[in-house]
Amino acid sequence: MTLRLGTRGSALAMAQSNTVAEAVRQRTGRPVELVEIVTPGDRSSAPIQRLGVGVFVSALRDALLANEIDFAVHSYKDLPTAPAKGLVVAAVPQREDPRDALVARAGMTLNELPEGARIGTGALRRIAQLNALGRRLRPEPVRGNVDSRLRKLAEGQFDAIVLARAGMARLGRAAEATEVLDPLLMLPAPAQGALAVECREDDVELRKLLSALDDEDTRAAITAERALLAELEAGCSAPIAALAEVAEGDEGPEIYLRGAVFSPDGGFALRLSRTGTLADAAEVGRALARDLREEGADNALGVQHDPHP
């Protein structure tokens, strides 16, 4: 019986879904067909923070619950932190490179960009971190898919743009990045570069089948990052960043989680970290969120400073 995989119609969503579909075919022998679902986010040109968290996933989830599709593939960072009733993330495949990438005219790096350079990005997290550099750069809003953003750069609308490297890699365009940004300069969004394979909670057979795609280290890292986000009660459009990495510790694998909170203008920047076991991934995230809150994270979301006194 053919499995129906729901996906958005963008080139990136289709690339991600085709990768998962092929993995399902190879590991289970089951045929998979892609079913395109149009979401409100695909029909709007408004900034992501105005559209709200989950705008790209609601239609896919509705189709799942209505039994119009059997499973769906999401960019994990697009999912609201609250669980969806009746649905479950059955697999978190191995993560792509979670870092951000700069694509700049004339092959420039971030340090080589001149004062006043126009940098296209719609993410408050990126805008805040660019402002925090104190370089008098000019972040400007940009929407659209990876191809259209790169085209706007080529047309001279911007001096540079910042994109998730994972998306560029999945579209075969990673080589166009002029710099992959060090997380010390630009900490990524929680769950950036990861995929969530979601199905109905009561579909036990499919859940077991899809679990073959699950990567333990990636799931633990994402669990820690999203637990931090949920504890801070903020959506993915807030100026909050997190990155968890799994490394071998003295007593087995450990999670190293970095988290950061910024005021939108970059005048306030708070960065902290914690470590823990994979089994305690969620608690590591919650504990780091509490640490951030104790150091003033809640105030930062509403604080405004003059970045150019």
pLDDT in tens, 96-108: 999 999 999 999 9
C-alpha pair distances (Å), 82 with each of 61, 76, 85, 220, 229:
13, 13, 9, 17, 10
The span from the CA of 5 to the CA of 60, in Å, is 10
C-alpha pair distances (Å), 66 with each of 79, 87, 289:
19, 12, 36
* 32 contact partners, CB below 8 Å, separation of at least 6: 2, 3, 4, 5, 21, 24, 25
User: pLDDT at position 265, please?
Assistant: 87
pTM value is: 0.90
In sequence order, what DSSP letters do the residues of 250-302 get, joined into one string? TTEEEEEEEEEEE-TTSS-EEEEEEEEEGGGHHHHHHHHHHHHHHTTHHHHTT
pLDDT band at residue 40 using 50, 70 and 90 as cut-offs = low
DSSP state of 176: G
* Fold of the domain spanning 3-94+194-214: D-Maltodextrin-Binding Protein; domain 2 (3.40.190)
The Cβ-side half-sphere exposure at 233, using a 13 Å CA radius, reads: 3
The domains spanning 3-94+194-214 and 100-180 adopt the same CATH topology = yes
Kindly state the average pLDDT of the residues 208-215. Answer: 96
User: pLDDT at position 308, please?
Assistant: 41
User: pLDDT at position 158, please?
Assistant: 97
Place of tokens 């559209």: 51
Residue 305 has pLDDT above 90, yes or no: no
Percent of the chain past pLDDT 90, that is, above it, reads 75
CATH of 221-300, one of 3.40.1740.10, 3.40.50.150, 3.10.28.10, 3.30.160.40: 3.30.160.40
The span from the CA of 239 to the CA of 255, in Å, is 23
DSSP state of 178: S
For the chain, which residues make up each domain, given as ranges?
3-94+194-214, 100-180, 221-300
User: pLDDT at position 51, please?
Assistant: 43
Please state which CATH number belongs to domain 100-180: 3.40.190.10
Active site residues: 78
> Beta-carbon neighbour count of residue 76 at 10 Å?
25
Encode pLDDT of 219-263 as tens digits.
Answer: 999 999 999 999 987 544 468 999 999 998 888 899 999 999 998
- Give the residues across from 307 on adjacent strands: none
Rg of the chain on CA atoms, in Å: 19
